[in-house]
Structure 1
Amino acid sequence: MTDPTANANAALSGNVLFYSQPEPLSVEAHGALGVIPVDKPYGFVAGTNLVPLTVTEFAPAALSYPVIFVGDNRQPVAVMGLRGGENLFVSDAGEFRPEAYIPAYVRRYPFVFANDEGQNRMILCVDRAAPFIKEDSATPLFVDGKPSAYVEQAMEFCNNFEQERQRTDAFVKLLNEFDLLETKEAVFTPRKPDGTAAAPQKIAEYYGVSEDKLKALPAEKLAELRDNGALGQIYAHMVSLLGWDRLIALTFQQNAAAQPAAGNA
């Protein structure tokens, strides 16, 4: 069950990336608020290098980022930087690179569903700390005491996202049932001044689909993955791992661009 205008005092559970002050959306607490344009629309993403993905986003995301699985829950994420707190795809102006895919997890901000365990329901929340949530906006959150068209669209987007999140959970469960995930490493081999290869350096450790395990699946299980669409998403994930080289190149570019500024400091 979902409720776009829940009691502001409802007890919520869970922590969500990007949201520092999520509040249950209500006309009492947010009736005078709206959305305004800001200079850095995606500035809130600049401080993270891992952004969650849903399974249906694997193919478009694979064109921009490595798509990997992390944590005990094997959460699929897009890798946007090699170091924590660094995002190579969000500029100082708070914009994504023009060619980069923007995950739905980012696009739904500042709205999010949260669990109201006391009422056994999902309620729509808004991050009150979002820089573009202000009073007296031309795009209000409420009109005549009811959710505005903007909020209704956000509600629909969050509903769709929740459905995709559940589909993603089922996909990861299937990978675990078929024992397809293994620990992988992303490795960078630097070059010495004479052009020869130096010792390889590990830049990341993560979970990914094992090509050997996939090939060893019985025909009926492989057919199941094909028929339910999971096989295409697996291939998208595997192809995306070529993106580690892109991240390394972008890191070198960023470091090179920063050197003159550091020298003039």
Structure 2
Amino acid sequence: MTDTTISPNAQLTGNVLFYRQPEPLSPEMHGNLGVNPADKPWAFLSGTHVVPLTVTEFAAAALNYPVIFVGDQKQPAVVMGLRQGDNLFVDAQGDLRPDAYIPAFARRYPFVYANDEAQNRLILCVDRAAPFVAEGGAMPFFENGQPSAYTQQALEFCNSFEQERARTEGFVKLLTDLDLFETKEARFIPRNPDGTAGEPQRIAEYLAVSEDKLRALSPEKLAELRDNGALGQIYAHLVSLLGWDRLIAMTFQRAAQQAPQAGNA
């Protein structure tokens, strides 16, 4: 089992979405730092249109976004926009839509675990560049040289996230072993001036569970997926794919809102 710790001396590896200046959290380096309440705590999401997701979040996230699988590792993720760097759920002022689900991957920010491969452990880090991290912050990282209650809560949340991440890897492996994945496309069909359907336009290519492959499984295997909870997560993923239409509508809505501004520039 990998250890977790707070340490100023660690050889870290890997890069993580959102984090510009992650540093191993320690009283020596961050004893006077803390976090201030932010008016727009989710503004950092504005430049990201795809955010990783854990499997236990599928049902909640499916109410807002398409849940897809991306990359060689088939990482589950939510799609929050159709264009890179354009998050449809965070406006230009950094305000998050009040009905938007926030993935745990983002909720742990500005904290994150990083690998210290030399000692086979995880080190709690903080993004020193986070706008709400400041000297004398209202919620200090340390009190009397020890992790504060705020930092202890962050440790617990990051520990829980790591457990969910491992569970997600097991879920993806199960689907991979059953050969349930296929490549899908999200398409938009524009309307011609005369009202007829135009030429379909591909807006995204992604990995998803194949409904045909799922139906082809044996009753015994389907029962196994039902009993271990995987089948419910699969259905949540499949239902979420209806959300592509919502993203398309939101894209047109944002473009319409921005058009007068561009004309007045």
| Offset at residue 2 of structure 1 (A) | 3.7
The residue that corresponds to 1:163 in the other structure is 163
- For 1:156, the aligned partner's letter is E
Question: Does structure 1 conserve the Cα–Cα contact (< 8 Å) formed by 2:36 and 2:134?
Answer: yes
C-alpha distance in structure 2 between counterparts of 1:124 and 1:110, whole Å: 10
Residue of structure 1 equivalent to 2:225: 225
Offset of residue 219 of structure 1: 1.4
**In 2, Cα distance between equivalents of 1:157 and 1:109:** 10
- Superposed counterparts of 1:63-82, under 5 Å: 63-82=63-82
Paired amino acid for 2:6 = T
Q: Note if contact 2:67-2:76 (Cα within 8 Å) is conserved in structure 1.
A: yes
1:190 maps to 190
Map 1:54-65 → 2, pairs under 5 A: 54-65=54-65
Which runs of no fewer than 5 residues in structure 2 stay unpaired? Answer: none
Aligned letter for 1:237? H
Compute the displacement of 1:221 (Å). Answer: 1.1
**2:126 corresponds to 1:126:** yes
SS in 2 for 1:118: helix
1:4·1:25 contact (CA, 8 Å) conserved in 2?
Answer: no
- AA in 1 matched with 2:130: A
| Matching residue of 1:151 | 151
Structure-to-structure mapping, 1:84-123, within 5 angstroms = 84-123=84-123
Q: How many residues align?
A: 264
Give the match's secondary structure for 1:122.
Answer: strand
- Within a 5 Å distance, the mapping from 1:173-212 to structure 2 comes to 173-212=173-212
Consecutive unaligned residues in structure 1, runs of 5 or more? none
Q: Report the 3-state secondary structure (helix = DSSP H, G, I; strand = E; otherwise coil) of the residue aligned with 2:131.
A: coil
Which letter maps to 2:26?
S
Normalising by structure 2, report the TM-score. Answer: 0.98
Structure 1 outlier segments of 4+, above 4 Å: none
**1:200, CA displacement in angstroms?**
0.4
State the SS of the aligned residue for 1:159: helix
The residue matched to 2:37 in structure 1 has which SS? coil
Match of 1:213 in 2: 213
Report the alpha carbon displacement of residue 218 of structure 1 after superposing the two structures with TM. Answer: 1.1
**Residue 185 of structure 2 aligns to which amino acid in structure 1?**
E
Query: Which whole-Å deviations, capped at 9, do the CAs of 1:134-159 have from their partners, x for residues lacking one?
Result: 00122110000000000000000000
Shift of 1:39: 3.6
CA-to-aligned-CA distance 1:159-188 (integer Å, 9 cap, x gap): 000000000000000000000000000010
| 1:96/1:102 contact within 8 Å kept | no
Cα distance in 2, alignment partners of residues 190 and 2 from structure 1 = 53
Identity of aligned residues (%): 70
Query: Structure 2: how far apart are the matches of 1:78 and 1:163?
Result: 19
